[in-house]
Amino acid sequence: MARQAAQQLGADDMVLYLVDHEQRQLLPMPGPGAPPRESLAIEGTLAGRAFSMLGPFGGATDGGGARLWLPLLNGLERMGVAEVVTAAPVPDFSVAAFEAVASLLAELVITRSQYSDTIERIRRRAPMRLAAEMLRAQLPPLTFSTGHMIISGILEPCYDVGGDAFDYAVNGDIAHLALFDAVGHGSGGGMRAVMLASLALAAYRNARRDGFDLIATYHHIDTAVRDHDRRGLITGVLAELDQRTGRLRVISAGHPSGLVIRRGKVTTVLPTPTALPVTLGDRRPPVVAEEALEPGDDLLFYTDGIIEARSADGERFGTERLVDFTVRALADELPLPETARRLVHAILAYQDDRLQDDATVLMVRFLGPSTVQATWPHRD
């Protein structure tokens, strides 16, 4: 379909590349008669720049022709890139037509992946352990935008998770956010942790869809997990953000504190803990903390695998490094999913790609009630 569309728009060819689960490589999607292609690194390539910056980038071919690289976006969820091959550079007035085709193809990649394993197999560069298979099937899309706010999350490692999970939903004016970290790692402990995290996710969605408030949602999750595994333990964050007003309400159940970043500085470290971890919720009532976000504010939630990552000589990554990196990335005006991707990759690089724990971030950018964005919102 991509190749047919390219010909109808006057191009010589179009090849789709899908991003791998670690978001390091762009992997060509084979098809009948498709020209041979090699995998491309996201770092240091025009294709990777189109993926990272969510926009078109052009270049030349070895034979004197031209290439146009376009991100494959389902909303703001990045699925990969499309390579458009032409005899001459695509004029600016024609780029929009190719972007429309790329958007449609991204939608088809999403929907068709529900009926076949072909796309999922392409995106994998290593065998996925059973625990990771179970948990990843339950996660929402990594990135979503309402025009008033952007949500972006990422979880590492991709192929062998230990119990981290996140979720979100936007119902009317209220955005619901959750981050969980179930205790238990390694092969046996990892499966137990995934079972606990899966139960917490299901209980969270069940409470949310029944219209429970934040405190009732916490108790619903706590009861559900305790009834299944009294010795299980899950730390987590439950939050609600009103898109009209910027009012943020948070319960931190024994979890690392969230950060509010405003105009390049951390203005608020959200209080923690305001509740006991899940399965201990019957021992002390939870407290809801409140914060007023301003348009342009960034909100960062993370699991302890981020700040507890250690270098080869044993030095912790720590909150200070986390803040410094996040502020610098935001100052570069990177799209929010790219900030999240680079943050987690920095954690991996810090410990030589050998995570001792899951490293998960959930980021939110509050754009404000009057903001209307048809494309990616850059900060002024």
**What number does CATH give the domain 2-123?**
3.30.450.40
Residue at token pair 């955005």: 175
CA distance 165 to 350: 22
Please answer whether residues 233 and 255 qualify as being in contact, where contact means their C-beta atoms are separated by less than 8 angstroms. Answer: no
Q: For residue 370, what pLDDT is reported?
A: 55
- Break the chain into its structural domains and give their ranges: 2-123, 130-366
Task: Tell me which fold the domain 130-366 belongs to.
Answer: Phosphatase 2c; domain 1 (3.60.40)
pLDDT in tens, 40-97: 999 999 999 999 999 999 988 887 889 999 999 999 999 999 999 999 999 888 999 9
**pLDDT at residue 80, rounded to an integer:** 98
Secondary structure class of 25 (helix, strand, coil): strand
Please say if the pLDDT value at position 219 is more than 80.
yes
For the ranges 187-201, 214-228, 246-260, 265-279, the lowest mean pLDDT is seen at 187-201
Cα separation values, 172 from 2, 107, 260, Å: 36, 24, 23
Residue with token string 């972007």: 99
Nearest alpha carbon to residue 230 among 181, 279, 163:
279
Task: Name the E strands within 110-233.
Answer: 143-145, 149-156, 164-171, 174-182
Query: Between 341 and 61, whose confidence is greater?
Result: 341
Q: Check whether 154 has a pLDDT greater than 80.
A: yes
The answer to whether 237 touches 259, Cβ cutoff 8 Å, is no
Sign of the dihedral defined by the CA atoms of residues 359, 365, 366, 371, in that order: negative
CA distances from 150 to 238, 299, 355 (A): 17, 10, 28
Section 278-293 average pLDDT: 96
Residue 380 pLDDT > 70, yes or no?
A: no
Rounded distance between C-alpha atoms, residue 320 and residue 211, angstroms: 37
Indicate whether 371 pLDDT > 50.
no
- Cα angle vertex 96, ends 80, 46, to 5°? 40
- Contact residues for 207 (Cβ-Cβ < 8 A; gap 6+): 216, 217, 220, 221
